[in-house]
Chains A and B, each alone.
Chain A
Amino acid sequence: MKIHIKNGRLIDPKNGVDEIQDLFISKGKILSIGTAPHEFQANRVINAQSLIVCPGLVDLSVRLREPGLEYKATLESEMRAAVAGGVTSIACPPDTDPPLDEPGLVEMLKHRAKNLNQAHVYPIGALTQGLKGERLTEMAELNDAGCVVFGQPDGLLSNLRVLMQAMRYASTFGFSVWLRPQDMTLTSDGVAHDGEVATRLGLPTIPVCAETVAISNIILLMRETGVRVHLCRIASAEGLAMIRNAKQQGLPVTCDVTINHLHLSDMDIGFFDSNCHLMPPLRGSSDRDALRHGLLDGTIDAVCSDHAPVDEDAKLLPFGQSEVGATGVELLLPLTLKWGVEMRLPLAKALARITSEPAGILGIDAGHLSIGSAADICIFDSDQYWKVTPPAILSQGKNTPFMGMELPGKIKYTLVNGQIVYEH
């Protein structure tokens, strides 16, 4: 299949490209940029006039809910949602049922995903068996099966000795460790940020120190073990300041923020809106503002959707009993664009946070449009606004705090390995 993408505005943050250029694709790879190769006969010409052509998006946290949690969503539904959102590479956290702690499970997931022939799936291996924080997983075997990084997605292990050893073992093989900095003893039964809103609503709280204590411990353990760490889903200004400091000291640490925390604060809980029941919790508006600036100055490396489809019944409960999470993979681009517009950023800067930067964190060859690289491409209209409604969302999860909002950025085509996997 030979494809000619014509007249589009090519934005490739990694290679510093932002100009109207044609793109020529053959055998799944980018063959040429600008001028047509000799005797190039396209099977398909995509007219990208007034559209943006950029690398396929890389999302660092997408729950596909397989294996085990298919009642919430299936691989089919969520992979469809991903490409509808322009996302061509996804990292999936290991908190499935059973968790991704065995090579067989990872192979099966990779195999199932591959057969669907849509986005590339990069499973995050469980750092400990059953994610219980007691015994190490076979990280090297899991790596052979397809895990590129290892993580503990649901808050920090209470047994710091096990964590230290897991970090040390991972560093033996050069694997990076992905941790969500949240101390679970300080979290206790909390469901909301410890601030004015939770005080008014009488919701059990999670203090900011649940994040900062965890970050402090992780930084100290990084020094001890020398492992590379990616901190998932930063939520507080204080936590961010600690990471900025650690980066200035040269520690090999990166971090991300979710689309939700980039735009919302605890105020959005309103009258107990369970769509805002997220983990980490939405924090105060000054935290949100700090995160928006931290993403701008590069302290935060990437934006992720933290996609977590939840079935409707699990959200139709009192706030504290409702299930945590929001659907989001289809909102990654719109909400990153919205942030970019609000911060008056050039498009390329905003797109870097969902293409080249996350690809670098994940350590994969993606997120750029170089000649000879895989033709993973997202083509969208940055000026077209669309309304978030249940039918407009392909994910099986319809739960999002952004329901009903008009957002910028409509995906027109998504290509994976030179195949058109989505077009609108």
Chain B
Amino acid sequence: MINRNPQLDENGVLQHLLTTEGLPASILLNILDTAESFVGVTERDVKKIPLLRGKSIFNLFFEPSTRTRTTFEIAAKRLSADVINLNIAVSAQSKGETLLDTVNNLSAMNADMFVVRHAQSGAAHLIAKHVRSDIHVINAGDGSHAHPTQALLDMFTIRRYKQDFRKLRVAIIGDILHSRVARSQIHALTTLGVPEVRVIAPKTLLPRMVERLGVHVYHDMVKGLKDIDVLMMLRLQNERMKGANLPSAEEYFKYYGLTPEKLSLARRDAIVMHPGPMNRGVEIDSAVADGGQSVILPQVTFGIAVRMAVMSILAGA
């Protein structure tokens, strides 16, 4: 029995942001449009607006993270919310408290919103299902499942540089199998009308039936990069670089690392993206990462505006 999309209330209004899958384009575009209005704020001298004054936002990170947690914190503070950071990897859970006990305790401290990162796929769904109905949950990454705010900031970046989604060819390159970013990107791109999304990876880093998500599968960068407008690189986790998935980081770089030569196979005005943190010399060459086609740093900047947009929309502000 499949329930209604747990992110939406009965009127189709966004209650939680758990995944980009199953959200209508109108909701995604509303987030992007709202983010546009916040980009100005982040460039002002006084970078604060009072939209979430008096609201408490708990950053619940069950997995270590610096960048994502920090951008959520900055986004919340720019909206004048109170932010409480909890690094749960080293506190309650190690004392045997369950995920839901932790959440219930924090709910009792009058939280308005939880930003959750967890190593298990589905953790954010579980929390959203069990919190009080007035609390909103933002998934900041669950296992290999979803990382919707990352995908949204990627969409924001693409729209900034390429305008019309309906005319693009996009390639996602690297460890699709373990990547929550890739899954969220694929759903967002297909929802926003990108006609051709490709994934490029060796077979050991691709999930089964990935083509059912609406993507074209390539194993060869030379073929896969032809006519591409947007290259979305993925991070290769250290523990996957050698063993049963791949023989070595060197071999991976040789065949799937993005070098200036490989980049020249794509369209001349193609942009290069990466969710960070980068492994230079493994999935991407420094000459590309720091080159003229890279939009990796703007991605980080836009990430704050997009997270502000998500928080303010969820709070109904």
Report which A residues bind B (CB closer than 8 A). Answer: 194-196, 198-205, 207, 267-268, 270-272, 313, 316-321, 404-405
Contact = CB atoms under 8 A, between A and B. Distances in A.
B207 interface: yes
A318 B209 contact: no
A317 B213 contact: no
Contact of A199 (B123, B143, B208): B208
Which of B99, B180, B207, B210: most chain A Cβ within 10 A?
B207
B2 A318 contact: no
B1 interface: yes
Nearest to B2: A270
A338 to B, nearest CB: 15
Contact of A201 (B6, B145, B212): B145
Given A198-B207, A199-B208, A316 B6 contact: no
B30 interface: no
Contact of A319 (B1, B21, B122, B146): B122
Contacts of A319: 120-122
A270 B3 contact: yes
A321 B126 CA distance: 12
A202 B212 contact: no
Nearest to A320: B120
Contact of B1 (A203, A270, A321): A270
Nearest to A192: B121
B125 interface: yes
Given A316-B126, A320-B143, A202 B121 contact: yes
A194 B208 contact: yes
A176 B23 CA distance: 53
A320 B122 contact: yes
B3 A321 contact: no
Contacts of A405: 1
Contacts of A317: 98-99, 120, 126
A284 to B, nearest CB: 9
Contact of A318 (B21, B120, B207, B208): B120
A316 B101 CA distance: 10
Interface of B: 1-3, 6, 21, 98-100, 118, 120-123, 125-126, 130, 142-146, 180, 183, 207-210, 212-213
14 contacts: A196-B212, A198-B207, A199-B208, A200-B183, A200-B213, A202-B143, A203-B144, A272-B122, A318-B99, A318-B122, A318-B143, A320-B121, A320-B122, A404-B1
Contacts of A320: 120-122, 143
A34 B69 CA distance: 77
A199 B212 contact: yes
A316 B102 CA distance: 13
B208 A321 contact: no
Nearest to B184: A202
Nearest to A318: B120
Given A195-B208, A195-B209, A316-B98, A201 B3 contact: no
Contact of B121 (A196, A203, A268, A404): A203
B144 A202 contact: yes
A272 B209 contact: no
B3 A202 contact: no
A205 B177 CA distance: 11
B306 to A, nearest CB: 21
Contacts of B143: 202-203, 318, 320
Contacts of B99: 317-318
A151 B282 CA distance: 48
B67 to A, nearest CB: 20
A200 to B, nearest CB: 7
B212 to A, nearest CB: 5
A9 to B, nearest CB: 33
- Leading 4 A-B pairs by shortest Cβ distance: A202-B144, A272-B122, A202-B145, A318-B120
Given A198-B208, A202-B143, A202-B180, A272 B98 contact: no
A80 to B, nearest CB: 28
Contacts of A271: 2-3, 6, 122, 125
Contacts of A318: 99, 118, 120-123, 126, 142-143
